[in-house]
Amino acid sequence: MPTSPVDYARNNRSRYLEMLKELLSIPSISTQSVHNADMQRCAEWLTQTMSSIGLKNTAIYPTPGHPVVYGEWLEAGPNAPTALIYGHYDVQPPDPLELWETPPFEPSVRGDNIYARGATDDKGQLFIHLAAVDALFKTTGALPVNIKFIIEGEEESGGKNLDPFIKSHQDLLAADCALISDTSIVSPEQPSIVYALRGLATLEIEVKSAARDLHSGQYGGAIHNPLLALSQIISAMFDENNRITIPGFYDDVLPLGDEERDLLAALPDTLLQETGARNLWGDPAFTPVERISARPTFEVHGIVGGYTDEGVKTVIPAEATAKISMRLVPNQDPQKIAQRFTDYVNALAPDTVTLKIRQTGLGNGAVIDRNDPSMMAASNAYQAAFRRRPIFTREGGSIPVVAAFQRILDLPVVMMGFGLTDDRLHSPNEKFHLPNFYRGIETSIHFMREYAKLKAA
Ligand code: BES
Ligand code: ZN
């Protein structure tokens, strides 16, 4: 009897793992220009792999930033539905390097996990679909649906080039649904589908006072220290209930209905165990799970300024900079929020310093129709591979392309993730749980079959 695609995928686990290791070895860090050649190399690895497994018209499309990788197989014909599978081949910087147990770009299997930067976010998850396509081609010579892959290189750096690419390639990307694996599930035993994501606005504040660094004994007391001025502005962003004070910040936040509050209340709260923090923090009017998914936030990612090297240096630094982001819920407009923040900071700024605000990225949040046939196909696919129906979750992170697919291509989007919440995304020792990787491949195979059935019906 010929082997089934799922059996083939099982028999080829070690080969797929070796291929994933190759992909993870390429340091495709989109935000650092020293890695531009690695970005190109990663795009080439993907097109070559896509061609070798049997996808057609594979190509690297240049953009003003990092290239977009494309590949397709449309021979299921005009009566079969088309799924547009999205992934991102760029990764976050790996620092602090000294905290990695094995180097971030030398993938290492320990126990049930593979450790490397990008292991779950997103190389391991995007590779799942390439492996599924390979297993289907190897055993049946075809796919049950038409498939298009779009794999971008600027997701982690808030790139501005993907939206224009999508706008100018609407025919190329036309499909019946978009499928994205770039999120987590509740546990290896309990799959879940993300139905809402937060948006994001990122900005930088630069504060300058004197024309040069000054002796703090000579001038301290009469010159406003830019690090202090910056800290004062940042501390003014929160009130005593840890709510954000930017005027109008919460105006467009939709209240959570009882049904959603119940849905979120049913999710496990493992935040203390996962993070090692002493205590939880935040707005007491909302549960921790609500705060990390259905409420907007304000964060400081880094403050640069002054002397931080060994020993003492008594100086009033000439300047200080902070990198800021605000996570936004779906109904908030990132542009409007960035403007409100800018107006507020300008109003708070003392006349002892000069201040510049730079907007560095905007991304829309999204909410998804839980009743689309693609959702049903994903639910059946998880059921087949995990022997458990998925539940619905809201995700606190951002995947700006989701709103772009909805807005520009008018596509239903299904977020069929395989990560775990303790995978250490963006942190040292990022990992991917291998049982999820292998079950992910099986889930993707089932998805294509289920989608072919449901969409045709
Ligand atoms: N894969 C993540 C989104 C995510 C985060 C899913 C946490 C599940 C859990 C994505 O690659 C990501 O990190 N996005 C950035 C986008 C930003 C730089 C525009 C984010 O959310 O910070
Ligand atoms: Zn990601």
- CATH code for the domain defined by 5-197+365-456: 3.40.630.10
Is it the case that residue 60 has pLDDT exceeding 70?
Answer: yes
Choosing from 155, 161, 267 the residue with most ligand 1 atoms within 8 A of its CB, the one to mutate for a pocket test is 155
Report residues whose beta carbon is within 6 angstroms of any ligand 1 atom: 121-122, 155-156, 158, 182-184, 200, 361, 363, 395, 397-400, 425
Q: Do domains 5-197+365-456 and 199-253+296-363 have the same CATH topology?
A: no
Interval 125-139 mean pLDDT: 98
Q: What architecture (CATH level 2) is domain 199-253+296-363?
A: 2-Layer Sandwich (3.30)
Q: How far is the CA of 397 from the centre of ligand 2 (A)?
A: 9
CA distances from 108 to 20, 24, 100, 102, 346 (A): 11, 10, 11, 7, 48
Query: Which ligand is closest in space to the CA of residue 87?
Result: 2
- The pLDDT, as a whole number, for residue 171 is 98
- The pLDDT, as a whole number, for residue 269 is 84
The crossing angle, in degrees rounded to 10, of helices 13-24 and 125-140 is: 140
Residue 457's pLDDT band (cuts 50, 70, 90):
low
Residue pLDDT, tens place only, 143-202: 999 999 999 999 998 788 999 999 999 999 999 999 999 999 999 999 999 999 999 999
Is it the case that residue 301 has pLDDT exceeding 70?
Answer: yes
> Which sequence spans correspond to the domains of the chain?
5-197+365-456, 199-253+296-363
Residue pLDDT, tens place only, 351-410: 999 999 999 999 999 999 999 999 999 999 999 999 999 999 999 999 999 999 999 999
Residue 266's pLDDT band (cuts 50, 70, 90):
confident
- The pLDDT, as a whole number, for residue 2 is 77
Query: Which ligand is closest in space to the CA of residue 124?
Result: 2
Interval 435-448 mean pLDDT: 98
Is it the case that residue 118 has pLDDT exceeding 70?
Answer: yes
Task: From the CA of 361, give the closest atom in ligand 1.
Answer: 19
- The pLDDT, as a whole number, for residue 1 is 66
Is it the case that residue 338 has pLDDT exceeding 90?
Answer: yes
Q: How far is the CA of 350 from the centre of ligand 2 (A)?
A: 39
- The pLDDT, as a whole number, for residue 155 is 94
Q: How far is the CA of 88 from the centre of ligand 2 (A)?
A: 7
Q: How far is the CA of 274 from the centre of ligand 1 (A)?
A: 17
Interval 10-22 mean pLDDT: 98
